Amino acid sequence: MASASTANAPTIDPSEVSLEELERSVCTSIANGLSPERAAQVLAEDGPNELEKPPKPTLLMLFIMQLTGFVIVLLLCAAVASIVVNGYGPKKHDVLSYTTGMAIFIIVLINACIAAWTEHKAGDALEALTKMTQASIYVVRGGKEIKVEVPTIVRGDIVVLGTGDVVPADLRLAEADDVKVSEMALTGEPDDVAKTWKNKPRREGEPEKLTPENMVFSGCSVKNGKGKGIVVETGMHTRIGRIAQLIADADGGKSKKKCGCLPDTSANATPLQVNLERLGARIGVLAIIVCVVIFVIGVAMDRRDPSNLTGPSWLYMVLIAVTLAVAAIPEGIPLCVTISLSIGCSDMVKKNVLVRKLAAVETLGSASVICSDKTGTLTEGKMTMVKMYAGGVSYIVEGKGFDPEVGRILHADTQAEAGSDMAVKSSLLAALLCCDTTLSKVTDKDTKEERWEPKGNSSEAPIVVAARKVGLSETVVSKEYARVLEVPFSSSRKMMLTVSDVSCRSELCPGGMPLEDGSKYFTVCKGAPNFILDYCSEQLMEDGSVQEMTKDSKDKVLSIVDEYSSMALRVLAIATRSMPKLPFDVDDEEVTTDQKFKACRSGLRLVGLVASIDPDRDGVPESVELARGAGIRVIMITGDYLKTAIAIAHNVKILQKEDDEAAAVDCGKLRPNDEYLSHTDMDALTSSVRVFARARPEDKLEIVKSLQRQGLVTAMTGDGVNDAPALNQANIGVAMGIQGTEVAKGASDMILTDDNFCSIVSAVEKGRTIYAGIQKFVAFIMSVHIAEVLQIFVCIVAGIPVMRTPLQILFLILVTDLPPSIALGMEPGEKTILEEKPRPKSEPVVLGWMWCSMMLNGTILASVIIGVYIVALTYYCDGEVLQANIDTFEDSEDRLMKARTVAFVSLVWSENIRSYTSRSFDKPVWRNMFGNKDMQKAIVLAQLCLYAAVFIPRFSDTILKLSGASIGLHGWLLALAGPAGCLIFCEACKVITVFQMKNYQRSLAAKHKVGDAVEGGKPGVPSADQKEAKCNHIEERTGQNEVSI
């Protein structure tokens, strides 16, 4: 797809130059636009006005990618080796001799299908970006207004905008009649932004705006007014195009290849995926070494196939090596992890979290930083009136959001009901007369639930909602008070003015302020307090009287305004004027709107102030405290002004009283002179700051990258297009389900269906619980594999008949052991799990003390089962245990089948007992023994599978080579020795494990203590270099407890 030509792109800032200069720069005319020929030429040079979309991997490609893991490749090699060797053996015409290889293939394919389908279902943020424009729009070309397809728009086109249009490209406004644009998708801020065609240089001390006032940007919707604009950027050169490029860059791995042709996604791998891949590689290397060693020993000792003694030793040892590979490689772990995470995804839905990528469930559990957007996540995303000042009295407005049926208006000092107070009703009715916003109930298409929703200007919504709380409906008011004149808000006037008909009224409303005799018209001004007060000559008092607006009374009102502003409240002043007639000639068409405005705004009476805020969500402060207790730093990144951001951050407990000014910064500090700080300086700044204000999309991305460079697992929340690059870059992106754009959802790993920050903390807890369960079943499965390898090794070296066939091993691991393993993954979390510190990003899934525990448990299991097997051989083989001696019996295969069946049954029973002992690494088995209901179901299922394996004819004796019916009572009683021995010795080993766990926890706590001290930045705190040296020293001192194979 073509992109805009950089050679032809304007080199000037279109927001700062005059319209005449801009016309010359892009070779256009505001009056006539481009000629059709010139438009076609520019389109050929720049390409269509579209976003580039990199090719998405097909389902087949994703499936193939699942087969490239080291462990999977080893399993596939083992399967091929099994089929090839059996193809040259004496039973090559027996289909059942190929069951081992086919079973391995089926297991690998099932796991690859699940993983590929899950990844294929994940949406695409770039795809969603392309849907943010409308199909066509009006432009001026050749002096005529024509409708064209949006992709054909080029630089220099004159676009005609109206209410409801979606801006098709980046435009410099040439005409603007009360234009207001929603830029929430780009900036994250909910308020509609007033636009002008004029050049307005920034005044000294005035904070920088996120977008120029004379520019509108692609993808933003026009909420009010009409205008014209010159196209200055199209396609990938627009602001939304730059965001698309940031998303593509964050997905950089997609452009890299591995194995020559497959997409390389390793850069986006989660900590769990990295650690499991690393664990699998190490196990795979060990498996190869063990197979080679056993192969060499077996050939050296001339071990031959008992059923084909004339065959070569090496051929038999290849089959044994395949058996060892199956025994050593934990093929059940990927399947168990996939199932465990899938179940976790289902549980997350109950916590209002929709997971799009399986590994995200666990990754959030390892988060050490949560970067949160403010609007709609930490806050309600709904401007709400919380305070009023009317008639010289302060009031409190209860309730949050747009539901007018929740909350009352109370006196600030006495908390008494004040909804019927004259000043309250007068102020709200006056404000309502100067509003165009309406409030109504709408039905959610998905949930079918009804909710209140305003339609119109977001800054007027709090007034409409508060008025409804005292019984004033905007729909009724608009009918009873006919509007005669309206002067809309503008950035120059800083206020809106309306004149309504109040003929035949002695008071504004029942219980409202009295009107002067002969009053026919009622003027209301609503806007910035400092501007409104300049036109006020009097003030309404609580008893309905009027007081002159003196300097002292004006200063008092301004002090109230300052008080509200310091609390991050947005304050509007409401002033009125009663008139017997209009102060201008209605029939004179020469009277301009500005002249009418000036005539009506003089001699105003201040009736009140209304103060609104986007309130923090219920439960957010408590959730932030919980996150802090869990060792997670919560950072707020917002496009709001610094003062407002600090106030909100204090409200939700992100900032605490003892925090100094350095804890909150304007994002301008990240990019002095529009150049980002060096990595070192950037990392030093982000390591301690918890509030970033006036953030651009690029800022969010740089902050996330900086935190990741510090080794932190970063979660990022967001809802707008501006959040998409950072969502994509973060270790885990969390989008909002209600207010989130499709772009944000497409870039995320999970979606909050209730847009609530509290749900993130719940998800963190669930993620930690799932990870703890994964560690438990990995340790459980690995100890089984260790035991299998030891059993085969002892059999080969000692000359004992091999205890188990590859198919029996597969059946044990994937049928009888799989249900308990999955149940371990669903183990309820400890109540104190959120009091633990986040695990280090580089921490392996299996820690040093876990390896020790697995080796001990595997050795115990192997020893106990080998003991049972030898006793069974002695019983069924007339005292013989060696392969050479047993081969002399005519019915040797039947005798061996009985002994192997006893060992098989004993192993399954032992594993069922170990399922309960493995529920905790350090707690005794009887502690809350039946607390995991899923474990009881799993054991029942495992038992059913066991008895099916040893009793079902043909399946048991022909395929699995087992016979439960022929071992007799002696065999079943002997099998009980296995679980009894495992229970006693495995529980005893927990004494060693407890000691090693305590050592590891002490070392981890010491690292966090150093890290917390450095972040605090207090006197005497070690520097970053000292911190690293200290941590390295701790690692060396406790290395014996942390080293993983």
Higher pLDDT, 115 or 517: 517
Question: Do the beta carbons of residue 844 and residue 275 sit within 8 Å?
Answer: yes
pLDDT at 1029 over 70: no
pLDDT at 673 over 50: yes
Reported as a pLDDT band with limits 50, 70 and 90, residue 269 is low
Q: What is the DSSP letter of 959?
A: I
CA–CA gap between residue 826 and residue 770 (Å, rounded): 7
Q: Which of 164, 199, 157 is nearest to 179 (CA)?
A: 164
Reported as a pLDDT band with limits 50, 70 and 90, residue 584 is confident
Q: What is the DSSP letter of 816?
A: I
Model pLDDT, residue 1038: 36
Residues near 168 by beta carbon (within 8 Å), at least 6 away in sequence: 49, 133, 134, 137, 150, 153, 159, 218, 231
Q: Where are the beta strands (DSSP E) in 183-254?
A: 193-194, 215-216, 221-233
Residues near 298 by beta carbon (within 8 Å), at least 6 away in sequence: 313, 316, 317, 320, 796
Burial class (CB in 10 A: 0-12, 13-18, 19+), 624: buried
How far CA 830 is from CA of 844, 921, 928, 931, in Å, comes to: 21, 13, 12, 12
Tell me which range, 82-86, 522-526, 641-645, 922-926, is most confidently predicted by mean pLDDT: 522-526
pLDDT digits (tens, 9 = 90+) for 392-403: 999 999 988 888
Tokens, residue 687: 């390591």
pLDDT digits (tens, 9 = 90+) for 79-128: 787 777 667 666 667 666 677 677 778 878 877 787 677 666 554 544 55
Tokens, residue 463: 């007034």
pLDDT at 1022 over 80: no
CA–CA gap between residue 959 and residue 350 (Å, rounded): 43
- Residue-averaged pLDDT of the chain: 81
What percent of the chain lies above the pLDDT cut of 90? 21
pLDDT digits (tens, 9 = 90+) for 184-240: 767 766 667 888 888 776 665 555 666 888 899 988 888 878 899 999 999 888 888
Model pLDDT, residue 14: 87
Reported as a pLDDT band with limits 50, 70 and 90, residue 1034 is very low
User: What residues does 147 pair with on adjacent strands?
Assistant: 138
pLDDT digits (tens, 9 = 90+) for 865-913: 999 999 999 999 988 888 888 888 888 888 999 999 999 999 999 999 9
CA–CA gap between residue 301 and residue 883 (Å, rounded): 13
Model pLDDT, residue 9: 47
Q: Which of 866, 868, 994, 854 is nearest to 924 (CA)?
A: 994
Q: Which of 149, 129, 131 is nearest to 139 (CA)?
A: 149
pLDDT digits (tens, 9 = 90+) for 21-50: 888 888 898 889 999 999 999 999 888 888
pLDDT at 16 over 70: yes
Question: Do the beta carbons of residue 649 and residue 690 sit within 8 Å?
Answer: yes
Phi and psi at residue 466, to the nearest 5°: -65, -40
Phi and psi at residue 308, to the nearest 5°: -150, 70
CA–CA gap between residue 768 and residue 776 (Å, rounded): 12
Question: Do the beta carbons of residue 46 and residue 235 sit within 8 Å?
Answer: yes
CA–CA gap between residue 973 and residue 967 (Å, rounded): 10
Model pLDDT, residue 1033: 36
CA–CA gap between residue 493 and residue 489 (Å, rounded): 7
pLDDT at 134 over 60: no
Reported as a pLDDT band with limits 50, 70 and 90, residue 387 is very high
CA–CA gap between residue 490 and residue 482 (Å, rounded): 23
Tell me which range, 363-372, 571-580, 670-679, is most confidently predicted by mean pLDDT: 571-580
∠ CA 316-318-324, nearest 5°, is: 110
pLDDT at 78 over 60: yes
Question: Do the beta carbons of residue 524 and residue 576 sit within 8 Å?
Answer: yes
∠ CA 301-307-313, nearest 5°, is: 30
Q: What is the DSSP letter of 616?
A: B
Tokens, residue 977: 């020795």
Model pLDDT, residue 431: 93
Model pLDDT, residue 1036: 35
Return the number of other C-beta atoms located less than 10 Å from residue 287's C-beta. Answer: 25
Model pLDDT, residue 112: 78
Tokens, residue 453: 């929703």
pTM: 0.69
Model pLDDT, residue 466: 93
**Average pLDDT for residues 248-256, to the nearest whole number?**
53
Helix, strand or coil, per DSSP, at residue 757: helix
pLDDT digits (tens, 9 = 90+) for 995-1019: 888 887 777 667 656 555 544 444 3
Phi and psi at residue 678, to the nearest 5°: -65, 160
CA–CA gap between residue 394 and residue 421 (Å, rounded): 12
Reported as a pLDDT band with limits 50, 70 and 90, residue 947 is very high
Q: What is the distance of C-alpha 200 from the center of its chain?
A: 39
Reported as a pLDDT band with limits 50, 70 and 90, residue 262 is low
Number of H helices, E strands in the chain: 35, 29
Question: Do the beta carbons of residue 775 and residue 341 sit within 8 Å?
Answer: no
Question: Do the beta carbons of residue 214 and residue 172 sit within 8 Å?
Answer: yes
Q: What one-letter code names the amino acid at 650? A: H
CA–CA gap between residue 357 and residue 841 (Å, rounded): 19
Model pLDDT, residue 162: 85
Question: Do the beta carbons of residue 628 and residue 837 sit within 8 Å?
Answer: no
Model pLDDT, residue 96: 63
CA–CA gap between residue 953 and residue 962 (Å, rounded): 10
Helix, strand or coil, per DSSP, at residue 394: strand
Q: What is the distance of C-alpha 459 from the center of its chain?
A: 29
CA–CA gap between residue 533 and residue 745 (Å, rounded): 45
pLDDT digits (tens, 9 = 90+) for 427-462: 999 999 999 888 888 887 766 778 888 887 878 899
CA–CA gap between residue 965 and residue 736 (Å, rounded): 59
CA–CA gap between residue 607 and residue 540 (Å, rounded): 5
Question: Do the beta carbons of residue 513 and residue 503 sit within 8 Å?
Answer: no
Tokens, residue 1: 């797809």
Return the number of other C-beta atoms located less than 10 Å from residue 487's C-beta. Answer: 21
Model pLDDT, residue 223: 80
**Average pLDDT for residues 255-259, to the nearest whole number?**
52
CA–CA gap between residue 863 and residue 731 (Å, rounded): 43
pLDDT at 1040 over 50: no
pLDDT at 329 over 80: no
Helix then strand then coil, % of the chain, to nearest 5: 50, 15, 35
Residues near 1037 by beta carbon (within 8 Å), at least 6 away in sequence: 1003
CA–CA gap between residue 637 and residue 686 (Å, rounded): 12
**Which residue is listed with tokens 């059913």?**
944
Question: Do the beta carbons of residue 508 and residue 426 sit within 8 Å?
Answer: yes
Higher pLDDT, 78 or 615: 615
Tokens, residue 123: 């949406």
Model pLDDT, residue 8: 45
